[in-house]
Structure 1
Amino acid sequence: MEEQRLTKLKELVKTNIASYPNFPKPGILFRDIFSVLKNPEAFHALQELLSSRLSNLNPKPDVITALESRGFLFGPGLALQLKLPFVPIRKRGKLPGKLHSVTYSLEYGNDTIEIQESSIGKGQNVVIIDDLLATGGTLGAACSLIEKCGANVLECIVVIELLDLKGRDGIHHPIHSLIQF
């Protein structure tokens, strides 16, 4: 019965993800998570799916992290609901203090993400939240940041996974995607 309910919630979320051909450039089909947020019923369903996944993890997470910027739509609320700390992973130059940094490859160049060194303790179990898994570069870099902290990546949870891009192939941690295209 619970599996049927979760399937219905996934269908509601998926039908509310808008698609924009040729954005941001020709040949790309952009999947827009913001269209889900405009529908309170679909947004609630998405939050329920994420919460259900986190509640059923074993071992339990000690910390919730999320990637700038769309991961921030989900991570802090889930951390608050579960009474866990939330730690942001941000683009270079956005966080104060001593930082761990990882530079990774993009389609046309490189980018760097960072986390505060003292934000996650050694041996803690961490869940990484993001909106989209495409080629896997950003999510893989986030996993490396967690490892630099001496912590364990318990699971990566993404709302949307673009299967044709095979982003999960380069990530050596558990990944759970709610919606696949």
Structure 2
Amino acid sequence: MTDLTPFHAIAREILAGARAANLKLATAESCTGGLVSAALTEIEGSSTVFERGYITYSNEAKMEMLGVAQDMLAEHGAVSAVVAKAMAEGAVRHSNADIAVSITGIAGPGGGSADKPVGLVHFAIASRHAETTHSVRSFSDLGRSSIRTAAAGYALQLISNSIDSFRGISIRDE
């Protein structure tokens, strides 16, 4: 089991920032298997801003829950920029969230290739109010648990940065 204690400070910051900006959050997680959602919901009062989390480990779940196109998955693979963006956009579209983060990668120990090695993780942030952004990180082959934890931490930082861009702006009617 992953210790979420190291994420408590940033999760508190995210929740406070989202509350102040009147934002709702969602997650669309694959390789992290819900770690980002767990980190956020570990904090008391998270229900005021955390709208929902999707754990879409399989391609079928990505298609059914988030509307990721089958041809997109076939052409690019689940671990790709276009799928990460589609996941985040699908999480916003299928929820009441203002901001969603997506994470899709290869945690290992198997499943990697020369083009997509173990430790490769794609992220996206989608919003109802801004263009979807993508980033990719290689966490090397640190081991499954370490890759998943590092990816969750990076995703939390992306959410925090995204919320910072809305500071001073109230999105929802009070």
Structure 1 length-normalised TM: 0.41
Which structure would you say has the larger Rg?
Answer: 1
Structure 2 length-normalised TM: 0.42
Q: Which has the higher contact order (CA 8 A, sep 6+)?
A: 2
Structure that is richer in helix per residue: 2
